[in-house]
Structure 1
């Protein structure tokens, strides 16, 4: 199954590229997802990232995901058909 269709809550996430260069390399556990944001637990700190302008990978998958294309509710994202990468 495509990683874009899987639930991300509970998965590890690593920022690969971002409009804000200070975010590149940040990683943490996804604790919540909304239409426009990802909420991570980074060590003992909570971090909220906007999906727009962000490219990231989910642990265990080699696919780099463009956050700008994932700006929909998680329940809609998991049921959507995406073109093959």
Structure 2
């Protein structure tokens, strides 16, 4: 028996200038789900930080979608990743 339930871990690495601070971000997926506004702290000297979006899939078939990271502050930036789920 095949179990068609899984979770994709979409990871984005944000490169920083090494200065301490906080940035605000949200995730939006092509299914219309939007995360809350999230805040991530950055320590002095930290050159990068990773943020994760966990996207759950279930059922048989194929689903193609896009997860988009929106950096909201202190500057606005956007990055997207395509995700394909297949279960037979």
Interval containing the TM-score (normalised by the shorter chain):
0.3 to 0.5
* Higher Cα Rg, which structure: 2
Tell which has more relative contact order, 1 or 2 (C-alpha 8 A, sep 6+). 2
| TM-score of the pair, normalised by structure 2 | 0.34
TM-score normalised by L of structure 1: 0.35
- If each structure's helix is expressed as a fraction of its own residues, which one has the higher value? 1
